[in-house]
Amino acid sequence: MVVRFIESCRLPTPFGVFDMHGFEEIDTGQEHVALSLGEVSDGRPVLGRTHSECLTGDALYSMRCDCGYQLEEALRSIAIEGRGVLLYLRQEGRGIGLLNKIRAYRLQDEGADTVEANERLGFAADLRDYSMCLDMLEHLGIKQLRLMTNNPVKVDALRDLGVDVVERVPLEVGRNPHNESYLNTKRSRMGHWFHTHQDDDPPPSQE
């Protein structure tokens, strides 16, 4: 077991009233949450997303990435579906932390792409760990997942853990002039799937 369940509560959002479930990593004390909506433990495939924390995109309206847009669209999609789950993992900056992410952004300001910036700081392009996801999903009684992602590594990582990912649901939102290069790098250097070239989207409408 990687995480232990701590407590649940109701979480009203602009998209609907979710249940928020708190988890703590046993070895590190790191905290993660899951947001669930509707009946997710009935054995049917559940629409869901694993979303890594991005303070700049999720809370500060940054247009340098697509994270805030994806978070909002995932919650909206779950609400439209009437049932689903979002695992919010505290892994800022693809695992390098907030301050190192700021350092990486500075390198990107000087011309590095997102992969080069991480590597210049001595990190791999992506240090995220999804090992806690299986425990979180099992606690919620979720057997099969329709995963909202553009990242093939995430699909493979969850399947390697034993999560039954039965479908990959594209989540292509938020392309704008500030993140065009970032998204192109994710496609060309990190293998992300992007099948459409979106028109510019407005910033996320978080409150």
The residues annotated as belonging to the active site are 126, 128
Of 157, 138, 13, 189, nearest to 91 (Cα)?
157
Q: Is 114 annotated as a binding residue?
A: yes
Q: Is 154 annotated as a binding residue?
A: yes
Cα separation, 2 vs 133, in Å, equals 9
Phi, psi for residue 67 in degrees, rounded to 5: -65, -50
Compute the C-alpha angle 176/180/181, nearest 5°.
Answer: 155
Q: Is 120 annotated as a binding residue?
A: no
Q: Is 94 annotated as a binding residue?
A: yes
Q: Is 52 annotated as a binding residue?
A: yes
Q: Is 92 annotated as a binding residue?
A: yes
For 125-142, b/e burial (b = at least 16 CB within 10 A) is: bbebebebbbbbbebbeb
Q: Is 50 annotated as a binding residue?
A: yes
Spatial neighbors of 22 by CB under 8 A, at least 6 apart, are 5, 6, 7, 8, 31, 32, 33
Of 68, 91, 10, 77, nearest to 48 (Cα)?
77
Q: Is 65 annotated as a binding residue?
A: yes
Q: Is 67 annotated as a binding residue?
A: yes
Helix (H) or strand (E) holding 8: strand 3-13
Of 22, 53, 52, nearest to 35 (Cα)?
22
Numbered residues of the known binding site for Zn(2+) = 54, 65, 67
Numbered residues of the known binding site for GTP = 49-53, 70, 92-94, 114, 149, 154
Numbered residues of the known binding site = 49-54, 65, 67, 70, 92-94, 114, 149, 154
